[in-house]
Amino acid sequence: MPALSRILQRLSLGAAVAVLVAYGADFVSVRVRVRHPTTVDPFETLTAPRLLAIPEKGNKTEYEIDVDNPVQTVTCVHSLFPQAGYSPCWQVKRALHQPIPM
């Protein structure tokens, strides 16, 4: 049992180090792209219609575009982890076109 415990301890330590290294590399990558502008900008602004999901009787849902605020605009960063206060674009693109439940 002590050998198994030691192996699990080393695996968890290795995983934690790998995540920290990945975050550090991601952080440096975004900072370098911000400081030295190229054609690949690390930030992107996405726009999509704001769709509301309104529940009705009989387990039906009506979808309607928000009248007060029909378009939503979100700024995101091209990275693996959230950086500079912005969510990663891969995460924003998933959630941007989801209807907002009422």
**Mean pLDDT of all residues in 95-99:** 86
pTM over 0.85: no
Q: Which residue segment(s) compose the domain that 8 sits in? A: 2-101
Q: Model confidence at 1, in pLDDT bands (50, 70, 90)?
A: low
63/8 Cα distance (integer angstroms): 49
Say how many domains are in the chain. 1
Say whether pLDDT at 2 is over 90. Answer: no
Residues 30-85 pLDDT 10s: 999 888 877 778 898 999 998 888 888 888 888 888 888 899 899 999 999 999 89
In degrees, rounded to 5, the angle at the alpha carbon of residue 79 between the alpha carbons of residues 47 and 23 is 150
Read off the pLDDT band of 10 (50, 70, 90).
very high
